[in-house]
Amino acid sequence: EAQVTQNPRYLITVTGKKLTVTCSQNMNHEYMSWYRQDPGLGLRQIYYSMNVEVTDKGDVPEGYKVSRKEKRNFPLILESPSPNQTSLYFCASSPGQTQETQYFGPGTRLLVL
Amino acid sequence: AQSVAQPEDQVNVAEGNPLTVKCTYSVSGNPYLFWYVQYPNRGLQFLLKYITGDNLVKGSYGFEAEFNKSQTSFHLKKPSALVSDSALYFCAVRDRGSTLGRLYFGRGTQLTVWP
């Protein structure tokens, strides 16, 4: 089944404790992206990747890191999480052309205490 | 700067009535436009998109949207709403002239269809 998977789905952590949210797609998509969803703000793009080893900042990259060493994986790294990073995070992928539909993962709900 | 506006946080309609969820956009070039839907505790699902051609686009679950270049709008419509259409709807835009991968979302509109 074609899908985007994220792990973990739910995470409670404390300020400053490094964490990684994994994202994997099995559709051989070139483009992958991370978003955060907050009430009243919609989805905001954190980082995106046009292909392996090619990443760029979105609207809200501060406090996040990403890497794209393999085509299928695009982990989101929070080196020192803070409470304002409490949010719902979505990973998405698409074949690569700008007109293509993005496929979203199920989301990761993060609470930083 | 690219942006998307969904002027209504909430839309309430009775089942069987037509529904409209509004979206206006701003891009420096010509747009690719998308609608996504999010059901509770789920990820976003694609509904429809405008790339080129006919301004009226038909999508999943009986939804359609009309691209209006002069009004820079892409309103989502359905002739007869169902209770199961109740969800959060997002409009999104990409600048087709850009080589960057940025996709801009609106803040979302909560649609409630009551029986």
Q: Which residues of B touch A106 (CB under 8 A)?
A: 42-43
Mutate to test the interface with A, among B48, B57, B102 (most CBs of A within 10 A): B102
pLDDT of residue B31: 86
Q: Name the band, by pLDDT with cuts 50, 70 and 90, for residue A99.
A: low
Cβ contact, residue pair B105, A42, below 8 Å: yes
Number of other CB atoms surrounding residue B93 within 10 Å: 25
Q: Name the band, by pLDDT with cuts 50, 70 and 90, for residue B102.
A: confident
Cβ contact, residue pair B49, A90, below 8 Å: no
End-to-end CA distance of chain A, in Å?
Answer: 36
Q: Name the band, by pLDDT with cuts 50, 70 and 90, for residue B98.
A: low
Q: What average pLDDT does the segment B72-93 reach?
A: 96
Lowest mean pLDDT among A39-43, B27-31, B76-80: B27-31
Long-range contacts of A101-104 (CB under 8 A, 24+ apart): A101/B34, A101/B46, A101/B49, A102/A31, A102/A33, A102/B34, A102/B44, A102/B46, A102/B103, A103/A2, A103/A3, A103/A4, A103/A25, A103/A27, A103/A29, A103/B46, A104/A4, A104/B36, A104/B43, A104/B44, A104/B45
* Chain B contact for A73 (CB, 8 A cutoff): no
Q: Rounded CA gap, A56 and B101, in Å?
A: 9
Cβ contact, residue pair A102, B46, below 8 Å: yes
From the list A43, A101, A9, A83, the residue with the least C-alpha distance to B104 is A43
What is the SS3 string spanning chain B?
A: CCEEECCCCEEEEECCCCEEECCEEECCCCEEEEEEEECCCCCEEEEEEECCCCCEEECHHHCEEEEECCCCEEEEEECCCCHHHCEEEEEEEEECCCCCCCCEECCCEEEEEEC
Dihedral through CA B33, CA A93, CA B44, CA A6, nearest 10? -160
pLDDT higher than threshold 70 for residue A111: yes
Q: Name the band, by pLDDT with cuts 50, 70 and 90, for residue A74.
A: very high
* Chain B contact for A70 (CB, 8 A cutoff): no
Q: What is the pLDDT of chain A when averaged over all its residues?
A: 93
Residues 6+ apart with CB under 8 A from B53: none
Give the DSSP H or E segment for A85.
Answer: none
